[in-house]
Homo-oligomer: A and B are copies of this chain.
Amino acid sequence: MAISDHDRLVRRLQTIAAVGEDERALLGTLPLRERRYGKGANIVRQGDKPSECLLILEGLAGRYQMTSRGRRQILSLHFSGDMPDLHSLQLHTMDHGIYALTRARAAFIAHDAMRALMRLSPRLSDILMRDVLIDASIFRQWITNIGQRTARERIAHLFCEVFVRMGVLGLAEAHSFRFPITQAELGDATGLSPVHVNRVLQSLRKAGLIASRGDVHEITDWPGLRAAADFSDDYLHLRSDHDHAA
């Protein structure tokens, strides 16, 4: 039984808060304007003034910023159910772009519809606020990751984050997940050169922490990878019943 587009959003919000039947029904009424993107395509451009919010349905998307020196920083990664630009509800000009790292399907939701929803349901309003705040928490962790950790720790940390986030969405297996990202993009996300990313990945493989066959990455030693990454999932602020350990 295929999951509906609205359910992707509900499933995602369920990972951070309890979504009741009322809210679920309300979310179900949101009008979605669907679009498809090829690998590498821009979904929202830096400088745009969107009048709609974005909902990722399928594929992998990322926020990024370009430096005037032509360097690219990937700011975050987004999966099915993520709404990466609730920002645009209050900030009118995009200070970053959003693009498809893989072929992707996305939906747009008019700002007016979102605002109406939030007026109707203070509870949903809170949940979306919580989502925005968790987003910010992830940014903070990325700052620490890039600012204070070694290349090896950074890459390991990114793998931990993606594994956990995909896991709670049901997009990962017990010990492996499909994560189609190039080494150059890993570099753009961690502030490293692609060459060095390559060497670090080899070192993580040699240490028996991960193993990769194409886009599918197997985590062969989860405690080891967590330790190598200095990873704790606190900053993801998941609902405690998703928090396996706890």
Is A120 interfacial (CB 8 A cutoff)?
A: no
Closest B residue by C-beta to A72 = B148
Contact among B122, B134, B146 for A143, CB-based, below 8 A: B146
Chain A 113-156 interface mask (CB, 8 Å, partner B; 1/0): 00000010010001001101111110111111011110000000
Cα A182 to Cα B69 with chains together (Å): 29
Note all chain B residues with C-beta closer than 8 A to A135.
136
The docked-state distance in angstroms from the alpha carbon of A169 to that of B140 is 24
Query: Which residues of chain B have C-beta atoms less than 8 A from A143's C-beta?
Result: 65, 73, 75, 139, 142-143, 146
Which residues from chain B contact A217 at a C-beta distance below 8 Å?
none
Mark each residue of chain A from 207 to 246: 1 if its CB lies under 8 Å from any CB of chain B, else 0.
0000000000000000000000010001101000000000
Pick from B71, B122, B140: contact of A139, CB below 8 A: B140
Number of interface residues of A (CB under 8 A): 44
Q: Does A67 contact B (CB under 8 A)?
A: yes
CB-contact partner of A230 in B68, B93, B237, under 8 A: B68
Chain B residue contacts of A93, Cβ below 8 A: 234, 237
The answer to whether A67 touches B146 (Cβ under 8 A) is no
Contact B132 A67, beta carbon cutoff 8 Å:
no
Least CB distance, A100 to chain B, in whole angstroms: 19
Give CA–CA (A143, B74) in the complex, Å.
9
Task: Tell me the chain A residues, 46-86 only, with Cβ under 8 Å from chain B.
Answer: 63, 65, 67-69, 71-73, 75, 86
> How many angstroms between the C-alpha atoms of A235 and B230 in the bound complex?
30
Known interface pairs A95-B234, A234-B95. Does A75 touch B144 (Cβ–Cβ under 8 Å)?
A: yes
Q: Closest residue of chain B to A236, judged by CB?
A: B95
Question: A residues engaging B (CB < 8 A)?
Answer: 63, 65, 67-69, 71-73, 75, 86-87, 89-91, 93, 95-96, 119, 122, 126, 129-130, 132-137, 139-144, 146-149, 190-191, 230, 234-235, 237
A sample of 20 inter-chain contacts (CB < 8 A) reads: A69-B230, A71-B148, A72-B148, A91-B130, A91-B134, A93-B237, A95-B140, A95-B237, A96-B140, A132-B136, A135-B136, A136-B136, A139-B139, A139-B140, A139-B143, A143-B146, A146-B147, A147-B190, A147-B191, A148-B191
